[in-house]
Each structure stands twice: as C-alpha cells, then as structure tokens.
C-alpha cells in the first residue's frame, strides 16, 4: 500500500504530485500548527465565559453548544461532509439521558453513558445509509433522517412526551460517594466546572483523532477521495467512523443539555441543524477551536439582540453573511491568517 506522507517543499507549498494527506495539512490552515494549543485556548475561553457571562445557564450552554459544533466540524471541516441533520443525535441524546434519569437512575455517569452509546449506534445506522451518497445527496439524506427523527419523537408521545416534551427530569448526581448534585439553578458553578471538564476531555479526544493516522486519511479524502482510494485506503470506513464519532459527541452534548434544562423539548431538527452549522462556519472550519468560538459569538449575539429586537434572527443573518463574504475562513481564520497577512504586507510595503 502506498504511503501518503510526501513532504512539502521548504517554503511550505505543496510539491507537484504531493499525496492527499500532505495537501490537506499544507492547504488546510495554519491552525494545524496550534494543535494542542487549541486546548489551552479552549480553557482560556471557558474562563472568560465564566467571569463575563452573567447568566449561568447561558455560560454552560456555550460550552455545550461549542462541544456540539466541534464534533460537527469533524464532518464539515476535516471530512468535507456537510450534514444538515446533526440535530438528530443531539436531540435524541437528550431523550436518552432524560429517560435514564427519569426511570432508571439519577447517576450522571449512567445517563451520559447511555446517551453516548445509543447515539453511537444510531449514527452507525444512519451513516451507513447516508454515506452511500456524496455531496448534496449526502446532505439531503441527513436532513431526511433528521425530519424522520422529529416525527418519531412527535408521534411516540408515550416515551418522548410528544409536543409537551420530556418534562420533570430529576437533578442528576455525581455519585462516587460525594452526593453532589448537578443543579444549574442552585449551584451553577459546580455544573459549569463539571461541564468544562467533560468538554475539555472530549475536545482533547477530538484533537487526538484529527492528528491520528485515520484523521490524516480523513483530510486526504476531503482533498481527493479518488486518489486516497487509489492509495489503498477504505474511504467509506474512515468516513463512517468519523460520522459515528461526530454523532457520539452530539449525543454527549445533548445529554448535558437535557441535564442543564431538566427538560427535552420538541424543536424542528432542521432548524437546530442549521444553527450549529452556522456556528461552525462562523467560527471557522479549519480547526476544532473555531466552531467553539463561533458558538460563543452566536449565543452572545442571540442573547443580546433578542432582548431589544423581535426580529433578531434577521440581524444575526446579516452579520453572518457579512462574515462569510469578508472572512471566508471564519473568525478563527481571521485571527490566524487574515490579520498576520495584513501585518506582513505592511512590513513588506514599508
């Protein structure tokens, strides 16, 4: 089997005939140079959110949405697979965790384990079907499954509560002999710290995946799937593993969100999928940290504008279009590429 790690030239530009993995690393972004620095940036961002966001529930929600968006970026940014149905594992992960807390145990570990395991299984089944098609057909299939999941939740009211949602979810406990409860109303700091630890650990796992041989092959597939397949790689298997991992992270985020609100509501999944996709694009697809930043910025805009304007979505949409047109690499790309490029041009002009 042909190895796909051809070395780029000394100036960082890809050489003629470079392998797909090399092209992905070189062309993708300077964010690859940060790698583990992204974890430190996430920690800094979490501290800033903790001390600057006055609403504790909003601060915790920023971490949860950031984790959800980072997981989606495995598909969008690293795999080149645009999913319009990523709200499905998020919502059903919430239902799974809520049902465990309601009927089995108040252990946060058991609830999250069931949410993660069940969404891994669901994502395997959904991904096996959706990945039989590519590009826009893949996106439409994910949207179709999200709509299917919505109507199942609507009709299966004996389990999901239907229109009324899954209400009365009890406060989860950490256990381990401590008896600590995760209650966002009575003790938001404990909930925030717990969520922060979960997000940081999961984020580190995502970095490990993107830097692993399979993660490099995924980026090679994004650049040229035919060439990666010609090198002997099972491209469908790599994409399926990525799809399952992204769905598992979404299920974890959904379980945390259900515990935050003690409720799982029935919302149009295609709208939720659009929101998280906006967060990814707004923050930047070239790194895992970018979508987290995009989630924080989006939720800040939503929280601020919705207090003063009834049509706040129109303003957010206009801001999003301006950012996409002016900064196609997103906010993180603006920080790592556009701004340094401007400084270099000024220096060369001087």
DSSP string computed for 36-89: THHHHHHHHHHHHHHHH-S-HHHHHHHHHHHHHHHHHHIIIIIT----S-THHH
Q: Please check whether residue 326 lies inside any domain of the structure.
A: no
Domain assignment of residue 349, yes or no: no
Residue 321 lies in a domain: no
In a domain? residue 337: no
Q: Give phi and psi for 166, each to the nearest 5.
A: -100, 95
H helices of 284-329, in order, are 289-305, 312-326
Residue 336 belongs to some domain of the structure: no
What is the CATH classification number for the domain harbouring 51?
1.10.3470
Q: Are 71 and 77 in contact (CB under 8 A)?
A: no
Domain count, the chain: 1
d(CA 196, CA 67): 10
Residue (of 207, 218, 212, 209) closest to 20 by Cα position: 218
What is the residue range of 270's domain? Answer: 32-313
Q: How many CB atoms lie within 10 A of CB 331?
A: 20
Residues in the chain with pLDDT values less than 70: 1-34, 176-178, 338-350
What's the confidence (pLDDT) of residue 5? 40
Residue 324 falls inside a structural domain: no
Q: Which pLDDT belongs to residue 176?
A: 64
Q: How far apart are CA 167 and CA 95, in angstroms?
A: 10
Could you tell me if 240 and 127 are in contact, meaning their C-beta atoms sit under 8 angstroms apart? Answer: yes
Q: How far apart are CA 121 and CA 117, in angstroms?
A: 6
Helix 87-103 to helix 235-261 angle (10° resolution) is: 50
State the Cα torsion 46-48-54-59 to the nearest 10°.
Answer: -20
Query: Per the domain annotation, does 334 fall within a domain?
Result: no
| Residue 344: inside a domain | no
């Amino acid at each position: 089997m042909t190895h796909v790690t051809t070395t780029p030239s000394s100036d960082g530009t890809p050489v003629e005939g470079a392998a797909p993995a090399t092209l992905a690393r070189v062309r993708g972004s300077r964010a690859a140079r940060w790698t583990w620095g992204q974890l430190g940036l996430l920690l800094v961002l979490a501290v800033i959110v903790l001390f600057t966001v006055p609403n504790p529930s909003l601060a915790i929600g920023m971490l949860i949405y950031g984790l959800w968006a980072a997981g989606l970026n495995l598909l969008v940014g690293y795999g080149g697979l645009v999913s319009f149905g990523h709200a499905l594992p998020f919502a059903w992960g919430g239902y799974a965790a809520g049902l465990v807390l309601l009927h089995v145990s108040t252990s946060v570990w058991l609830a999250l384990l069931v949410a993660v395991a069940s969404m891994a299984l669901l994502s395997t089944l959904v991904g096996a079907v959706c990945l039989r098609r590519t590009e826009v057909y893949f996106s439409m299939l994910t949207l179709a499954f999200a709509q299917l999941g919505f109507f199942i939740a609507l009709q299966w009211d004996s389990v999901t509560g239907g229109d009324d949602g899954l209400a009365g979810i009890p406060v989860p406990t950490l256990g381990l002999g401590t008896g600590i409860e995760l209650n966002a109303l009575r003790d938001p700091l404990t909930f925030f710290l717990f969520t922060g630890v979960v997000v940081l650990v999961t984020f580190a796992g995502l970095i490990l995946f993107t830097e692993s041989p399979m993660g490099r092959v995924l980026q090679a597939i994004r650049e040229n799937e035919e060439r990666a397949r010609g090198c002997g790689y099972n491209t469908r298997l790599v994409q399926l593993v990525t799809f399952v991992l992204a769905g598992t992270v979404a299920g974890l985020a959904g379980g945390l969100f259900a515990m935050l609100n003690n409720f799982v509501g029935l919302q149009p999944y295609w709208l939720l999928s659009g929101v998280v996709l906006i967060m990814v694009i707004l923050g930047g697809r070239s790194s895992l940290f970018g979508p987290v930043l995009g989630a924080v910025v989006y939720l800040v805009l939503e929280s601020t504008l919705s207090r003063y304007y009834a049509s706040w979505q129109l303003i957010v949409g206009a801001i999003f279009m301006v950012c996409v047109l002016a900064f196609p690499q997103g906010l993180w790309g603006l920080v790592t590429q556009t701004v340094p490029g401007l400084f270099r041009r000024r220096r060369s002009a001087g």
